[in-house]
Structure 1
């Protein structure tokens, strides 16, 4: 015979089901007596069900402790309409509860309680974060956009509409509505940048462009965006921000104008100095060699200024400084080589180094390695721990003799340059070629 499995009666099955749920649950008859009480309710109230069943709920949960809750139970018992209450727990201070009350036919009502403390805390933090974000976005006038790439549908924040001079809610909602507001000469460049980012799989993209506002004003915008991709890697959205950078662009243009004007005046001043010096030297019977040396130094100073002007006088690339200073002294035939990392020098250091390279190159052409066909000059540099270390090394030239008297160029290198660089300069007159080492502080 097959052994039969005992079956539960309906009440036992109901109790088993209720004990399996994670919510607190109990049921009341129309006299407000507790007729069901699951295991989670035992844990929540700290009472076993055999002590609870049959008691009036107000003995367990006094009316005065929760008048709103008590009224909701009465109302649901009377009209059969489910109700929900979100409130702090009286029995467990500091916990947030979601209480649902629902009719059970004509028998009474069921009460389920779910602890939503963590969810409530997360929702509060989310609301606080949203308020902070909204305040930051509004204070900084940051426009936010969300472009759905396959459909072209685009959502703008109110701040984005403000930037474009539209009324709130006035953006039409399509990508082409954005494109037609870009200046034509900027649109093709902007689209090319986006297409390149999409083609290369970039995660982020930055951009600058001009727009024609609804009021006819032309404004510069700058922004950044991030691509959102599907599981198969296809870009489906581009979400980003825009800000009006017109004031910055105007300031940059004004700064370039001032720098160009300054550079023009410096060049004029150098030309005047050169003219005065030429007249003075000629009248005083100064040798042509001295005059040429002075003019060469002025030219080196002017070349360093040109490099700084190209970088708005914020810094000068070391390779460009050296190339400009040494260019007049070699034929570009590979006899003078440069090697070192990319490095920007502050203006004072750039000018001093340019003059030093000019002095060394001039000497190499007259007396050193570049005075002979097989001579070579190798310039190398490194940077680390806030210090530039540069070496000028000559080889293949005539034998080197230690000068009996330090000339102006040598004194300029060893004393003036060291002071301007905030470091030291050493000239080593080796028999097989001059070696000059420079150490300069980088700020």
Structure 2
């Protein structure tokens, strides 16, 4: 037999001993909720299942206070006491939280108190419908617990995402349907120059250039329509007015019902890449232009060389030499990224094919860098001057030499005068016909550089002088 404290917290001294023994026996074997109660509704004890199912009830508490219809409960208890039978019944109890539950009861008289008050055992159960209600409540509690757990995990994920957004070098911001900014990360502050305090609550149109407003409206419309947008490259405007090239990834922000309530955007500065692409395009266009020019020069070179050649072998030799002269000038420009060529380097690469003694070429002048046009034209001219000097001029004689000098002409224009002067060679006289070399030395340089060229055939040697306009060269910085 179970000890009394395991099944009731009643004042057992109030109960007859024979009833006490009886209640102990049935409580140990009955899994139902057993309540010791008198006909006035006062509870005298509960077995363990009853205490678990009805935790707000205890000995001394009147069950009438929890009953939705106290009068019906009292009539039921009195009827059970009179008939001395376990009669079925129904009672509706309300817990302290206000939840009302229907219970089925079987109450039977078992004894009397000393004042002859009938004592009953009320066996209570939740009917199947009630069980389903409790099951639904349990399911709801489990669902709420699951949602709570999910929310905790979501909050952790949100905090992690917020940390990523805050530390991102990309500009990340959100805005509502009225284009009002609702968040603005550090990357956006750096990219646009506006602080979060300045932008949150302000219109996003402050960073959209006037000619891109229609584009912004079109993007928002497509997002509202549920379209998934691929990243686009466009232009946005900083606080200081500077335009920047950006790549924009746009996404809609929806509520639980799936309605679009705003937009998020990630912007990446692609200015350097766009500049590199534009530079590459410019280089390709310049290369195409230069190729056409070079083809025209080579074509003219071939025609003139063929016109003055005595044989195929003579043509081949002369034409190859001229191509070599052209190629070394272009090679120097390519090596320097088409940013011009220093005049002294250009002279060196053109002359080293013809002479090995430094005394044969005496150069003097300031450090200047020619632009691309001047480098090509002067390179061709130097090649033809060196060829003629080796065949007929100063370099054809052991004692002959060339003085090549250049200097800035005093005055506002700041032009550069270049002089090729041959000395110590055989006597020179003007040729009877105009060859390709003379055309290059006089006409090509004059046309390419928009300047005047002087070619003098003095008995002492050839003197070639021309004035290079200031826009075609730059002085080396000291």
Flag whether TM exceeds 0.5 (same fold): no
TM-score (norm 2): 0.36
Q: Which has the larger radius of gyration?
A: 2
